[in-house]
Structure 1
Amino acid sequence: MAKLGAAINFGADYRAMGISTGAIAELILRGTRPQDIPCENFVPVGLQLNYDGFGIGWAHIPALAKQAELIYDEPAPPLTRVIERPMIPESVEALLAALPAAGSAAKTPAAPHIPTIAVLTYNRTPNFEESYRGFLAELAALGYVDGKNCHLSLRDAQLDVGTLGTIIAAIDEEEPDVVVPFTTPALQAVVRRITDRPVVFCMIASGVASGAGKSNTDHLPNVTGALITFDWDYMIRVGKAAIPNLRRVGTVFAPGEVNSVFSRGEWEKALAAAGIELVSVGADRPTELPEAADGLATQGVQAIMQISDSSSSTGFGTIVKAADRADIPVFAFAPGAMKSGATIAVSRDFEEVGRISARLMDKVLRGESPGNLPFADPQETVFLVNPERMKQFGIVLPKDMLDTARAVSEGDGATK
């Protein structure tokens, strides 16, 4: 607990208790009957100090410091020392000493290291589910089997920043072999705390805006991953083909999400270059979406061309309902939005982004340095249309453009 800020930590040395338990297990595995092993109270104690947690006027007592095995006093690095104490009860130590020598018997080979993979996300949006599905599929293709040759965990902060911090603190304590944050808020929180082990991200709009580096090749030495950028130019082409004289479109964005603010800015610049105005309304949480979407839909926009972030991905159906009331179509930058009523989606392949992250993670677990692996930026575009929705809004696309699209239905997103 000293690492987490507790000032004085004095109590059971759990490492010693684990070692003594392992020694008892060795006795049993080598033939000692459990009833022949004495049961005794063995609780070695340890002391750790964190001077940053000391209150005003607290004294640093040298005699106490000499007994501490770990002292935190930022900005200096932690001071560690070996404190001699029994790690095994005397009775167990005597029984171990009495065991026959191994002699010429072959030694049991050390068990292979099983990597621990800690996955976390700010929220389980439809976009996350698609990327995570690709991530798991690629892990399986690479031969990873959870519980057999790897240990995989998934934690969801459910759009709560406090919960996200708690999750990352727990992961930091567990010291997994690799941390895999999905979504920008998760990556931002991870890179602020975890600097001593590999981080492979997934589904990030901008590694630079997230604080993970200066560019896709010049980045933090322990971080790599796969971005999910947007094909602004093709969306504009599709929009102009679908809506003649397109001049004004709208989007909801999340002011509290760096990725959303970044995407909104990039989208506004791309639209301005094409002579199209972007109207945007802020909504940080799904509960704020109804009012934001209704307000946006009544501002004279010809369509809602929705950027992708945690809030809008969770409540995309709310945006569609507001647009339906205003009789305007919704275009999306995520394929999962088609299930919630989007008319057209121009998107990257979220499943493929998950697969790429899995391949990068595999390279890292095999010994490659994350700092030597550039951020991946997949450029393949997926073009989806809902024919019923297109008919509803009188949208007719040129045949050569429509021939490149996949038709899907609302609700299940199934290809027709």
Structure 2
Amino acid sequence: MTMLVLASLLFVGMPIGLILCWAALTFIVSSGNTILLDSFALQMFNALNNFGLLAIPLFVLIGELMNGSGITQRLIRLAAVFIGNIRGGLAYVNLLANMMVASILGSATAQIAMMTQVMVPEMEREGYRRDFSTAVTAFGGLLGPIIPPSIVFVVYAVLAQLAVRDMLVAGIIPGLILTSLFLGTIALLGRRYAYPPSKSPSWAERGRAVRGALPMLTIPAIIIGTITGGFGSPTEAAALGAFCAALLGLFVTRTLKLSDMGPILLRTGINSALVLFLVAAAGVFSWVLVFGQVPQTVAAWIQSVATSPVSFMLLVMLVLLLVGTIIDGIPALIMVVPILLPIATDVYGIDPVHFGVVVSVNLILGLLSPPVGIGLYVAANAANISPVSVIKVSLPFFCVTGLALVLLAIFPQLSLALL
């Protein structure tokens, strides 16, 4: 009954947070255990009673401050000076800039929207097709939720009761693998379609770009250095990063004014509240699932199909790819982790950090997968182009992302080596 209500509400387009709460209420009433209603609000509160969740509004604040401080443009110029006179050079610049921005922003949809507006017109002026430029930018946005900081990894860590630091560090190598595969794809496509070579900057231009972007690199250095060096928690690292971004915007780029802080904090609060309400709703939904022994029932079925950890991971990847094409990344994560994580750890002995990386990347890929593919629609809308044309051009990037997922599923060391 609960799953029928869940599917029906998803079909009519109700917000996922309300769906989770309504599905939990339906289960409680249909089971006759109305005494559970007394604990409903408490379970939602307990889901938010986690210090690690403070990192989410702080990471969102960093992104808002970065948008208002001109940091993105300086990072793009820095990426451009590392690319010489090579074919398809501006596409490489696009991807490298996405990687650097990902180390600050941590949100795929925000990154895709911002970078599409910046990079697609520039690439089009240099002779690139708009659909290709949009596809490169959209898949570059996948790096946002993988390379630290990552809101998706923070949410997973809270759901799985893991150290947020471990999840963020586990995303470094997968992020670099994806970047390398994307760079290789651009190289092959550049040869096939004869994309225009980039202009080789002079040494004076390189010096100016490096000097202009060097202060901006203190933000990812502070965030990643604080986390990996053990000097502070991800929440404390995010607070330091936000403080640094504000100082850079006010006193270095001087494009941020004190009068801008009110709207920035308001947008931060609204966007953070949306994510945190999902986490609260997930807490009560997970509680109901465990009470109804749903994980045990699903585990029995999966064990009859998957006979090894690898076959289990491949089966999960197929299921999550379908889920990710319909539901956005964080809501999908919140729905599937309470069911699949106990099976992965208790039945197949899979490390929860390794499982979290594979699940998160899998669902993030769903952002760029039809029919929903919200990331595709964000990029297409920002570039004023049909989503269908972007889907056709992005197929090679989709395939290499799938290859990266298979590698991550088969070789846990790729996720766990830095822990």
Whether these two folds match at TM > 0.5 is no
RCO higher in structure (CA 8 A, sep ≥6):
2
Which TM-score band (shorter chain)?
Answer: under 0.3
Larger Rg computed on CA atoms: 1
